[in-house]
Structure 1
Amino acid sequence: MTEPNQTRFNQEAANWDSNPSVVLATELAVESYLPFCSASFDILDLGCGTGLLSLLLAPHVRSITAVDSASGMIDVLTAKLSSSSSHQNVKNVLAVCALLQDPDDARLQIDPLTKATLGSETRARTFDLVVSHLVLHHIPDLAAVFKTIYGLLKPGGKVAVTDFEDFGPEARKFHPESKMDGVERHGIKREDIQKIIEETGFESVTVETAFELPKRVESEPGKGDIESGPTKVFPFLICSGTKP
């Protein structure tokens, strides 16, 4: 993730969970991910933010390694997992602050459930499923991130990512003009993302509408009146594939 993104998300971390559209989008995404989950699965949540998605998925899987490059977001998640938090009974989520580019990153070798670390003589830890929600539109090089995801997965493992769709010029309204720094694209295009995932080496690739998100937008670009602005419906895609 680029520096403007990290700066923005560090600044917004403390109030992130109070944004109703963020919470609603996450809840809808969880419903899309559940068919991919199993109680035995070890999952990596790439771009986990404050852990909204990870904490909702945690009861449905064995473990979740929650990774984000914004230290402010990870600090909020770590606080949630502390003994003083209402999430203190969640024992299978590990928060990791990392700009993840290497599938063999040593910071991923800790088992969130047992806290055991793989020895140097053991192969790098891999995952049954990698999920990522509302992250792709912030990433400059999508081919590179899917290559990393591919390396993180076990044979037969799956990727499932959700983001809003680039359905034309109106998709730009998803972000207010004041928050365009770090936005690499206004949603994802079906044909483009399918091609990237297939060219990475994934099989059984599907790209389909997962849900629609009603979201308040500026009445005019740059007006800054989101709280009183009109509501626009944004379609979200779920993009999935299986590592051979």
Structure 2
Amino acid sequence: MSEWDEYADQWDGDERVIHYSQQAYQSLTQAINCDGLTILDFGCGTGHLTELLHQQAKRIVAVDSSAKMIDVLAAKNLPKAEPLTIDLNSSNSQPMHNTFDLIVASSVCAFLPDYQASLALFKQLLKPQGYFVQWDWLKEAGESTPGFTAEEIQAAFDNCSFETINLQQTFTMQQGEDEAPVIMGIAQKRD
């Protein structure tokens, strides 16, 4: 059972989650033409971003380690979406190598146990010239909150030999009295 299972029933009604997904989608479609792409939505939750992308995509594989989140997504019956409950890793991903034109990870990477290993896996899953796009909380150097500095993302992209296409704050989210910035990183597989 995933720690995220307990959030599944309320996730679709959370206005912050909906707003985050809409902002991520808008920033994505301003940067990349998603028409006809084969997409992996990694850490898809209940599929907010999957729903927004599925009309444009040729096919979307939506994966999450939370079975309950995937159950909510599967009940939406999106014709081009393939929801999968899986903890995707190097030992179970071989059939998906060189499959995807685009991999998206919305508010996921900061919660991964090994971000660098996940990036290496994503690179294997991408077709040549494919794109990886992530959105995460932007933090300042030295902060212990979940998120990344731009320098941390850049270093991770460099370590995987991704070409950085874009790395910038794209929107903010209201959190109480404060605004929390969100950084979007776009990397391309060049080999």
Compute the TM-score of the two structures, normalised by the length of structure 1: 0.72
Residue pair 1:43, 1:65 contacting (<8 A) in 2 also: yes
Q: For the residues of structure 2 that align with 1:103 and 1:154, how far apart are their CA atoms?
A: 19
Q: For the residues of structure 2 that align with 1:205 and 1:195, how far apart are their CA atoms?
A: 14
Aligned to 2:179: 233
Aligned to 2:80: 92
Q: Does 1:15 align with 2:10?
A: yes
Aligned to 1:141: 114
Q: For the residues of structure 1 that align with 2:98 and 2:135, how far apart are their CA atoms?
A: 24
Cα separation, partners in 2 of 1:103 and 1:23, compared to 1, 3 Å? farther
Question: SS where residue 166 of structure 2 aligns?
Answer: strand
- Unpaired runs of 5+ in structure 1? 82-89, 110-123, 173-184, 217-230
Question: SS where residue 45 of structure 2 aligns?
Answer: coil
Q: For the residues of structure 2 that align with 1:148 and 1:188, how far apart are their CA atoms?
A: 19
The amino acid that maps onto 1:99 is D
Larger radius of gyration: 1
Aligned to 2:50: 54
Map 1:107-186 to 2 at 5 A: 124=97, 126-167=99-140, 185-186=145-146
Q: Deviations over 1:14-37 (max 9, x none)?
A: 111111111111111110111323
Q: Does 1:30 align with 2:25?
A: yes
Residue pair 1:160, 1:238 contacting (<8 A) in 2 also: yes
The runs of 4+ residues in structure 1 deviating greater than 3 Å are none
Question: SS where residue 158 of structure 1 aligns?
Answer: strand
The amino acid that maps onto 1:31 is Q
Aligned to 2:69: 73
Residue pair 2:101, 2:131 contacting (<8 A) in 1 also: yes
Identical pairs, percent: 29
Cα separation, partners in 2 of 1:39 and 1:125, compared to 1, 3 Å? same
Aligned to 1:86: none
1:103 Cα deviation after fit? 7.9
RMSD: 2.0
Aligned to 2:162: 202
1:136 Cα deviation after fit? 1.2
Question: SS where residue 161 of structure 1 aligns?
Answer: strand
Residue pair 1:37, 1:61 contacting (<8 A) in 2 also: no
Question: SS where residue 171 of structure 2 aligns?
Answer: strand
Q: Deviations over 1:19-59 (max 9, x none)?
A: 11111111111101113233121000000000011001111
Q: For the residues of structure 2 that align with 1:207 and 1:235, how far apart are their CA atoms?
A: 13
Q: For the residues of structure 1 that align with 2:26 and 2:166, how far apart are their CA atoms?
A: 17
Higher relative strand content: 2
Aligned to 1:112: none
Aligned to 1:226: none
Residue pair 1:205, 1:241 contacting (<8 A) in 2 also: yes
